[in-house]
Amino acid sequence: MPYYRSVGSVPRKRHTVHRIEGSVAFEELMGIEGFSGTSALLYHRHSPSAITRIEPVEAAVPAFHDNMPLRPHHLRTQQLPTADDAVLGRQPLLGNNDVSISWVAASATSGLYRNATGDELVYVQSGSAVLESVFGRLPVRDGDYVVVPMSATHRWVATDRVELLVINARGHINVPSRYLNAAGQMLEGAPFSERDQRGPAGEPLIDEGEDVPVTVRTRGGLSVHVHATHPFDVVGWDGCLYPWAFNIADFEPIVGRIHQPPPVHQTFAGSGFVICSFVPRLFDTDPEAVKVPYHHANVDTDEVLFYSRGDFMSRAGSGIGVGSISVHPAGFVHGPQPGSFERSIDVDRTAETAVMLDAFSPLGLTDSALGISDADYPWSWARRP
Ligand SMILES: [Fe+2]
């Protein structure tokens, strides 16, 4: 997120004395790639390093089983139980060394949390919440993508029941570089712009407390660091690294006379994966155009599609519906269900909203994923509609 933002009270010059109610603030640089990448400067009332205890956490490390023997999957997230906590209640489903995908439905405020394994991209499938962090409050709602930077201390405050699809990168999640000019501004031809992106605004978020536990995720699992004072003590910050949100309905689809391939729908890029948004749009305009996607073999990628809302015409008869996840692995040719071309002839637009993740290394599946996998899905293309 390369756009400069400033919230609350910061000194005129960085690395200079900043007095808050008579005390000198503790300046923290939160930066990617050490001191060379995107960063923010935060001004704390108390030392962000002051911890009083470190506690282990008994938590199972998810095991991702090889997709063997190779099969396409339809995962029915609606069959997963509701959790209390939007962080600790997450059910890992798919993953490799670059990225993992989890699902959670929750209705209560999570504990404080920071993920030191990589950025999180949280897609809000339903409900609304406030992402509270050291950067302040960021209200989010259904259809929002929420980018939570690696190691940002935060919590999810659910204002009602929320369903979240959580993509956890090993590294960072960015806007595709081909959407940016040399100065980092979104290009005119990009399918969204800076106006569509929201960050924490308004007053800084100050909370009081002593001996405050924060759950920390690292590659080894979970730990708890008990902070001497509440981590939400930032009186001001500025920079280009902070949580931000973007609603999928603000993605402007690119359509053509004949079918446009999925890269025109790309929304985010990570190391080892890309994410695309499929939103309601006009179909191709040529009278001879085949409006449903052609069969395709993604020889280098495992393709995951989350069906968020609308009518998935090309998948009718497959069992796919709202809340479904399809997994079409490398080595398998996938395409529209039989009969979908005929159904599309008199239709001039699609009403579907879906999120796609293409992973460049094979994705494994957890026991949770296998438990909600539709046993009949692999044969769905062979059935008559
Ligand atoms: Fe596909």
- Please give the distance, rounded to the nearest whole angstrom, from the Cα atom of residue 282 to the centre of ligand 1: 19
Geometric angle at alpha carbon 105, from 102 and 108, rounded to 5°: 120
- Please give the distance, rounded to the nearest whole angstrom, from the Cα atom of residue 253 to the centre of ligand 1: 17
Say what the pLDDT of residue 337 is: 81
8 Å CB contact between 335 and 36: no
Say what the pLDDT of residue 1 is: 59
Helix (H) or strand (E) holding 40: strand 39-44
Which residue is associated with the tokens 């030392």? 47
Strand order in the sheet with 128-133: 51-56, 221-229, 210-218, 112-115, 154-158, 128-133, 136-141
- Please give the distance, rounded to the nearest whole angstrom, from the Cα atom of residue 354 to the centre of ligand 1: 12
8 Å CB contact between 170 and 98: yes
- Please give the distance, rounded to the nearest whole angstrom, from the Cα atom of residue 359 to the centre of ligand 1: 12
* Cα dihedral across residues 3, 135, 110, 231: positive or negative: positive
- Please give the distance, rounded to the nearest whole angstrom, from the Cα atom of residue 334 to the centre of ligand 1: 6
Say what the pLDDT of residue 317 is: 80
Say what the pLDDT of residue 338 is: 81
* Regions of the chain with pLDDT less than 70: 1-2, 383-385
- Give the integer Cα–Cα distance in Å for 94 and 101: 5
8 Å CB contact between 91 and 78: no
- Please give the distance, rounded to the nearest whole angstrom, from the Cα atom of residue 320 to the centre of ligand 1: 14
- Please give the distance, rounded to the nearest whole angstrom, from the Cα atom of residue 335 to the centre of ligand 1: 7
- Please give the distance, rounded to the nearest whole angstrom, from the Cα atom of residue 321 to the centre of ligand 1: 16
DSSP string, 76-118: EGGGSPPEEETTTT-EEEEE-SSEEEEEEEEEEPPPEEEESS-
Q: Find, among 120, 124, 185, the residue nearest to 157 by Cα.
A: 124
Can you give the pTM of this predicted structure?
0.96
- Give the integer Cα–Cα distance in Å for 71 and 91: 21
Query: What region, left, alpha or beta, does residue 15 occupy, with left being phi > 0 and alpha being psi -120 to 50 degrees?
Result: left
Residue type, position 202, single letter: G
Say what the pLDDT of residue 291 is: 79
Which tokens go with 307? 């069906």
Say what the pLDDT of residue 339 is: 80
Say what the pLDDT of residue 384 is: 53
